Amino acid sequence: MFIDYAEIYIKAGDGGDGAVSFRREKYIPNGGPDGGDGGAGGNVIFKADTGLRTLMDFRYKRKYIAPRGENGSKQNRSGKSGEDLVVKVPLGTIVKDKETGKILADISKEGQEVIIARGGKGGAGNQHFATPTRQVPNFARRGSPGQELTVILELKLIADVGLLGFPNVGKSTLLSMVSSARPKIANYHFTTLSPNLGVVSMGEGESFVIADIPGLIEGAHEGAGLGHNFLRHVERTRLLIHVVDIAEIDGRDAISDFDVINRELEMYNPELAKRPQIIAANKIDVLNDTAKLERFKAEMEKRGYKVFEISAATNQGVDALIRYTYEQLKTLPEVVLYEPTEEVEIEVASEEPPFTVRRENEVYVIEGPWVNKILGSVNFNDRESLQYFQRVMKNMGVIEALEEKGIEEGDTVRIGEMEFDYIP
């Protein structure tokens, strides 16, 4: 089954906690702090795999969690960093943040790797908190959390040429005649329910990839039929071959059909309407009224389009169409859907992120990842650790922010699940 859309949850590993430890050796009864640092959490990395063709695997597994870093230990031993989790995806996969809709990566090169979620930093061991006046720090820092988010994966086929047109106009037949692809072909509407790729050989070392984009209908840009599922595969193509039924079987009108499909392209993505198009007037082998062909050609050539008269069923005119297509491709640049100016980096809690102070009934609530991180570093049973906490709160402006909110002595302050009485 061809699956080109998936939604998954990913989480990078949390950083390991720093250790609280002191040297305890023979003849050194009161050694200094020797708590090691925690290891970094593993990243979540997406990697292109040419062996994959669909996003089928993500229908069965929807959560990907990288290992956390190990905690630090005594004798200044740092914890081991968590291993990176490598998630393999097909070439042509777009990765989006579900919450913001932002494109995080366009994985379109063989072997390409992109870090989508970064692991948390390891916490500092108590050896880092020793000072001339605080020689026995009984606290360490916890590791920071790894990035977590829900991402949307969209597969947009990598093809040089896209075949467009209404159902049953002969796209699948044309693809089977010019490549080794063998799509299912039958004389009824919506035969093709998934895109088919074929490689067109132009001689030794010369080829291009062509995709049969499944039949579009009016309203496809709004998702009618399988519109959105089909249209996304046009976006990477450099050139479009627009196949029309010039015999106008089933009461069709070739000019009207051409206009409807192009209107759907423009409504879905205006850039697609600007993509170069070649017109393949198909089914000339069953054309009874040549006036239809002449009228269609006159109108299309007036609009600046090149029209080829072909019969995909008998191969008439197909060679000329393909040779012209190949020559045009030599002059067209690659289509870049998304090119980051720098390596994708998702923010994790930094050393000094902002905090907020709000009043909830009679309680002053302090919130923010930085505050939570400091709170996790404090040993509330240790006087020096509490003093360190108070100094940090003051230096970072938390005390000043509370006073601006009108806090008074004895009022309650809440940080996370901890509550304190305010004493200036």
Residues 44 and 67 in one domain: yes
Q: Which of the pair, 375 or 88, is modelled with greater confidence?
A: 88
How far apart, in Å, are the Cα atoms of 142 and each of 206, 306, 388, 396? 57, 66, 15, 19
Verify that 91 and 23 share a domain, yes or no. Answer: yes
Same domain for 375 and 270?
Answer: no
Among residues 93, 84, 82, 97, the alpha carbon closest in space to that of 57 is found at 93
In the prediction, which pLDDT does 3 show? 74
Does residue 229 carry a pLDDT above 70?
Answer: no
Mean of the per-residue pLDDT values for the chain?
A: 82
Q: What pLDDT digit, counting tens, does each position of 20-61 carry?
A: 888 877 666 667 888 899 999 999 999 999 888 788 889 889
User: What 3-state class would DSSP assign to 174?
Assistant: helix
Shared domain check, 20 and 65 = yes
Q: Give the C-alpha distances (Å, rounded to integers) separating 104 from 44, 95, 96, 341.
A: 13, 5, 5, 12
pLDDT digits (tens, 9 = 90+) for 76-117: 899 999 999 999 998 889 899 998 888 899 898 888 999 999
217 domain-assigned: yes
pLDDT of residue 294: 94
Element spanning 391, H or E: helix 383-395
Kindly state whether residue 340 falls inside one of the protein's structural domains: no
The residue from 291, 310, 329 where one domain ends is: 329
Q: How confident is the model at residue 341 (pLDDT cuts 50, 70, 90)?
A: very low
Tokens of 50: 């040419």
Range of the domain at 376: 356-421
| CATH number assigned to the domain comprising residue 36 | 2.70.210.12
Neighbours of 40 (CB within 10 A): 27
Q: Average pLDDT for residues 153-160, to the nearest whole number?
A: 84
- pTM here is 0.64
Residue 58, helix vs strand vs coil: helix
- Is residue 361 exposed (0-12), middle (13-18) or buried (19+ Cβ within 10 Å)? exposed
pLDDT at 220 over 60: no
Residue 41 · residue 66 · CB < 8 Å: yes
89 and 121 co-located in one domain: yes
Same domain membership, residue 375 and residue 314: no
Q: Is the pLDDT of residue 186 over 60?
A: no
Tokens for 153? 């994966």
Q: Tell me, what CATH number does 397's domain have? A: 3.30.300.350
In a domain, 27, yes or no: yes
CATH code for the domain of 312 = 3.40.50.300
Quote the pLDDT of residue 311.
95
Give the confidence band of 184 by pLDDT, cuts at 50, 70, 90. very low
| pLDDT tens digit sequence for 318-337 | 999 999 999 999 999 877 66
Spell 381-414 as b/e; 16+ CB within 10 A means b. Answer: ebebbeebbeeebeebebeebbeeeebeeebebe
How many domains does the chain contain in total?
Answer: 3
Strands of the 412-415 sheet, one edge to the other: 356-360, 363-367, 412-415, 418-421
